Amino acid sequence: MKQKVGIIGLGIMGSAMSANLLKAGFQVTGYDIVPERVKALVEKNGVAATSCKEVAQKTDVVITSLPSNEALHEVVLGKDSLSEAGKSGLVVVETSTLTLEAKNEAYEALKRAGVEMLDCPLSGTGAQAARRDIVVYASGTRKVCEDCGSVFDGIARANYYVGEFGMGTKMKFVANLLVTIHNASAAEAFVLGMKAGLDPELIYNVISDSAGSSRMFEVRGPLMVNASYDQPTMKVELHQKDIKIISAFAKELHCPTPLLSTSAQLYTSALAHGWAKRDTASLCAVMEKMAGFERKKDGTR
């Protein structure tokens, strides 16, 4: 019998995970502070909840997909929170990209409430999550991670057990450092090619099949080809949060990250242009302005 799954946070990633779990035959109960998101879940045959506490009481495994440390604190310790559910045997799978300090605080609070928490960040964009093309970095009690295997299979193409609680977040920091840099390098490459007279679609097709490709080039390249950034799978403002968290983590370790630091300036520039709500592929537009390049429909000057 499949576990009953709850999802708290039905944004880009949470809604994608809930849809895939429903397709896989799970009963999914969801909650979000935005009522329209809960309504959308119900329209897909999910079950609505009015609080985090209610989600916990109706399910066996609760997935949290949240935008900030403050949101996690509220979900775990706020009014009608997970800590107040009194649900024996509940497992909380925390998938957000947040600080280790915030996750450890939540872990200790849930432990006191008799709830097992796993740290399981996700690798992939919202578009990839919709296709179940993401990877789970699972950390915490190994047996509990293994018991959640069918849930992970419902939301991701692969999952890796990376160690004790917190190791998942550390692995996510490494992955997102690369995402940050590879997205910026893809934008730089497109602009160089277009300014040299190459068609952007041709650049994408050729480089995707070449040694210089990357997963970010392949995922965000089509957006850069079409200069289409208004339906984001990762917003610039949200990724800015990730950059700050990774930079602070690296600073604590006295570990230099020069390429991350350089790339971060491009994301700041995107914010300065008023593109906080746009996809991070909009770095291509930032680079076009820096290069004094104005594309036409055929990708030339």
Q: 128 lies in which domain range?
A: 5-165
| Paired strand residues for 149 | none
Residues 182 and 228 in one domain: yes
Q: How confident is the model at residue 297 (pLDDT cuts 50, 70, 90)?
A: low
Residues 153 and 226 in one domain: no
As a whole number of angstroms, the distance between CA 167 and CA 40 comes to 33
We report the CATH number of the domain holding residue 257 as 1.10.1040.10
Residues 138 and 48 in one domain: yes
**What domain count does the chain have?**
2
Mean pLDDT of 214-236: 95
As a whole number of angstroms, the distance between CA 93 and CA 7 comes to 9
247-284 residue pLDDT tens? 999 999 999 999 999 999 999 999 999 999 999 999 99
Q: Is the pLDDT of residue 177 over 70?
A: yes
Q: How confident is the model at residue 1 (pLDDT cuts 50, 70, 90)?
A: confident
Q: Is the pLDDT of residue 167 over 60?
A: yes
39-78 residue pLDDT tens? 999 999 999 999 999 999 999 999 999 999 999 999 999 9
At residue 300, the pLDDT reads: 44
Residues 15 and 158 in one domain: yes
Residues 156 and 179 in one domain: no
Q: Is the pLDDT of residue 301 over 60?
A: no
Mean pLDDT of 16-28: 97
Mean pLDDT over the full length of the chain: 95
Helix axes 215-226, 200-208, angle to 10 degrees: 170
Residues 215 and 107 in one domain: no
Q: Is the pLDDT of residue 160 over 50?
A: yes
Residues 147 and 21 in one domain: yes
Nearest C-alpha neighbor of 20 from the set 162, 150, 119, 139: 150
At residue 242, the pLDDT reads: 93
We report the CATH number of the domain holding residue 92 as 3.40.50.720
Radius of gyration of the chain (CA): 20
Q: Is the pLDDT of residue 209 over 50?
A: yes
